[in-house]
Amino acid sequence: MATPDLFAQPIPVPAALEAVSASERIAGLRAELDLHAHRYYVLDEPSIPDSEYDRLFRELQALEAAHPDLQSPDSPTQRVGGKALGQFATVRHRIAMLSIRTETDTEASGARNFDNRVRKELGLTESDPPVEYVAELKFDGLAMSLRYEHGVLVQAATRGDGEMGEDVTQNIRTIRQIPLRLPSGAPPVMEVRGEVYMRRGEFEALNERQREKIAKGAKGEKTFANPRNAAAGGVRQLDPAIAAERRLSFFAYGVGEVTPPEQDGPAFETHYALLQTLKSWGFPVAAQTRLAQGATELIAFHDTVRKERDRLPYDIDGVVYKVNSLALQRRMGFVSREPRWAVAHKYPAQEQLTTVLAIDIQVGRTGKLTPVAKLAPVFVGGVTVTNATLHNEDEARRKDVRLGDTVIVRRAGDVIPEVVSVLLDKRVPDATQFTMPRQCPVCGSEAVREEGEADYRCTGGLFCAAQRKEAILHFAHKRAVEVEGLGDKLVEQLVDAGVIRTLPDLYKLGFASLASLERMAEKSANNLVAALEKSKHTTLPRFVFGLGIRHVGEATAKALARHFCQLDRIMDATEAQLLEVDDVGPIVAKSIHTFFDQPHNREVVEQLRACGVTWEESEPVALAVKPLSGKTFVITGTLPDLSRDEAKDMIELAGGKVAGSVSKKTDYVVAGLEAGSKLIKAEALGVAVIDQEDLMALLHGLPD
């Protein structure tokens, strides 16, 4: 049924109707339109053509326009009629909208586990009859509360955090499956709860409309990842006219607050009876809803729905089991704000068939190369999937994924798409085996796979655009060169804006370029410029660590600096020479040698030097003649002119070792102001205690 043009001019009232009172005709039209809408949107059994529905609708519009005193919020014409809101009001749920516990066992035993818990809670033995449950679908949408007062829909609210939600009444009125008025006999207050969702067909149509808008250059438009996101976005539109375009749907599955009717009304004794009453009032209730006796029938329901899942016109991610008796529900109660009498039983990850169009290489922030299969679009687990990870070369070869193959795709954990297997009987002739490229597709640097590792990695860490943000953040780390104030968000902003492409660009930043950035205050810009200038004066270990060479941490960087004393010697060292350094094994030696073997990385180092980044260097000195070699220090308290890191660097460059705790093996404790328990322990053990001046004397006494 086409949605009537609600903003068109109403047609004149036919003269033949003048003999009928306006109130009678309006009431008749509303009842007739509600009946036809229910047959169309809920029962899927339209009884009149769209054109006839539109004619009746326009007639009602005209009568209400002529008699504004007869207008009512439950009229079909009020489905879309509210003004756009500035924001949503907050609603406190009188009865909290609680979540249902998820059964993590996706096999049949998950249903049996729930039944066992229920029987134990109720104190039932094996000789007692089976518990009666209601088995329902678990819809993948947005939970909604509909509040009716004296039969009229007065408020619709999202779940929110369970206690507080948002008032989305105007948007919910646009969903034609939701009655605006309940029949006589309904309780004075009736809160119906259910799920707002989007049918797959409507989702695809919406995305097609979005693609057309994007193609025409519309700004701010996008396609949606899955029906649930599109439905949630539709509910939260401030303009109900836009919400109406989403063509959302609704299923009822329960109630919240209910006040007893003043006279005879529905007396709910079971959950199933409640659902049947809601259905008789015009609410959609999933046709698959069933009564189930014990675990055996729950298992059968879970299996039946699993087989039908792909054929449903909407998304589900499992089924729900509820104890049918409301008296037993009240007896069982809740635990951790979850009902003991209900559980959500999910399914394993969904799988679909599709075709491999290409195999691309994705380069991560740390240089890891990951093969990714580009797929013919396929709808899996609630989203349209076009990419699936192959993890690494070994995995791609184990599964033998090739270009043109028909593959089974699964959303592992309903999150990450992956290729499960290949249908070899559908393989195209001459399909070639996948081979990981030996060069980074982003920067052209060599891609290497270290011994014992599954992944290939780009070696152009200082040059590769894919690793740019990670390289800058690591270089600016406080244990590396340290650029105070240069954090994740600022690096992301600078890189995304194209201000920084490589590390040396950091030192070309001026106040003007920083101050022009969004949310960058004048003081912050000045502070960062000063921090960059300060960072130019560093140490060789910090600089080497800051380069981000794989496997080279702080300790290895210090060992390299102690051994070679000069950066050029480190860069020019052979693998054999690197192996002479303490704590450097074959894997680390190869990683260092490969890194400096890349011209791009050497060029970045030279540019950093040209920008004024400096450190002290010396001629290599045999470790045996360094006076602090073999000496262990502990630093405690606050030194007058040195930070602990600075003092530690000095001691280690002089051949000493800095420990974190005092023992009999400690040679010196360097004590500053407010030295605590370490000083007390040193005195008790008879360990020599020195201050900053004594330490400097030891350091200055070193031979050239």
CA distance 246 to 237: 10
* 593 vs 569: CA distance, rounded Å: 12
In the chain, the amino acid numbered 605 is V
CA distance 44 to 36: 10
Rounded CA-CA distance 406/102 in Å is 34
User: Using CA atoms, how far apart are residues 678 and 637, in angstroms rounded to an integer?
Assistant: 9
Q: Measure the CA–CA gap between 188 and 684, rounded to whole angstroms.
A: 81
Task: For residues 287 and 314, give the distance between their C-alpha atoms in angstroms, rounded to a whole number.
Answer: 13
Query: Residues 318, 322, 324, 326: is their CA dihedral positive or negative?
Result: negative
DSSP 616-649: -------GGG-TTTT-EEEEESB-SS--HHHHHH
Number of residues that this document lists for the chain? 704
3 state SS of 288: coil
Structure token digits, residue 524: 């912050």
Q: Give SS3 for 103.
A: strand
Cα distance between residue 566 and residue 571, in whole Å: 9
* Rg of the Cα atoms in the chain: 36
Cβ atoms of 352 and 414 within 8 Å: the answer is: no
One-character DSSP codes across 11-68: PPPPGGGTTS-HHHHHHHHHHHHHHHHIIIIISS---S-HHHHHHHHHHHHHHHHH-G
Collapsing DSSP to helix, strand or coil, 143 comes out as: strand
Which residues are tagged catalytic? 138
End-to-end CA separation in angstroms for the chain: 92
What's the DSSP call for residue 506? G
Going 681 to 684 to 687 to 689, the CA torsion angle's sign is: positive
Distance CA 249, CA 238 (A): 18
CA distance readout (Å), 126 to 114, 115, 331? 15, 12, 20
Provide the 10 A C-beta neighbour count for residue 325.
Answer: 20
* Secondary structure of residue 682 in the 3-state scheme: helix
